[in-house]
Amino acid sequence: MAHKSDKSGKSRNTMRRGGRSKSREIALQVLYGCEIAHDPVGPALRNMLEDPHSEGMDQDYFSQLTLGVEAEREVLDSWIGRAGAAWSMDRFSVVDHNILRLGIYELLKQPEVPHRVILNEAIELSKRFGGEESSRFVNGVMDKVANLVREEDAAPMRVWDTQES
């Protein structure tokens, strides 16, 4: 997964980010790599916790996101399908899919994190790691899920009820 550069030519990866932002980025890298290689997440997670490049991340948050997304993958994918129904499936790259899984997991399981922060973080990940239209796509799907969470008061979704109301 390649890093993109900003307009100044500096790698966006080298810009200073907070511990949770870095946790999201590294969780994305682990989830993406494991999906592409068809490897289990556990060993990759343990390796990343020992990797010097992971310095500065919130290790607990990284572990919670990575393991949570992996454990709830099928349910998260059903939310992606529910919210992304207007988008054709060929727009769901592996990177975009994992960004959406991370963001939706946070929307549903991290109520203390403001929705706007989660959406902005997902959009930033899509700008750094996704394709040309990824940020628009991720923004559209994440906005739809955030609205569903607000409309349904999130209680049913936090127990992973994916039935239409």
- pLDDT at position 42 is 94
Q: Is 103 a residue whose pLDDT tops 70? A: yes
Given a contact cutoff of 8 angstroms between Cβ atoms, the answer to whether 75 and 162 are in contact is yes
Q: What is the pTM of this model?
A: 0.81
Q: Is 156 a residue whose pLDDT tops 70? A: no
Find the distance separating the first CA and the last CA of the chain, reported in whole Å: 38
Q: Tokens for 105?
A: 């997991």
CA-CA-CA-CA dihedral for 82, 151, 136, 70, to nearest 10 = -50
Q: What is the DSSP letter of 2?
A: P
Residue type, 74: E
Burial of 21 (0-12, 13-18, 19+ CB in 10 A): buried
The yes/no answer on whether domain 18-158 falls in CATH 3.40.50.720 is no
Q: Which band of pLDDT confidence, cut at 50, 70 and 90, is reported for residue 7?
A: very low
Residue 137 phi, psi dihedral angles, 5° rounding: -65, -50
- pLDDT at position 8 is 40
- pLDDT at position 153 is 56
Q: Is 10 a residue whose pLDDT tops 50? A: no
Which pLDDT tens digit goes with each residue over 47-81?
999 998 888 899 999 999 999 999 999 999 888 88
Cα separation, 133 vs 32, in Å, equals: 18
Q: Kindly report the length of the chain.
A: 165
b/e code 129-160 from CB counts within 10 Å (16+ = b)? bbeeebbebbeebbebbbebbeeeeeeebeee
Cα separation, 165 vs 156, in Å, equals: 10
Q: Rounded mean pLDDT of 73-96?
A: 82
Which pLDDT tens digit goes with each residue over 40-56?
999 999 999 999 888 88
Q: DSSP letter string over 55-86?
A: TTS-HHHHHHHHHHHHHTHHHHHHHHHHHTTT
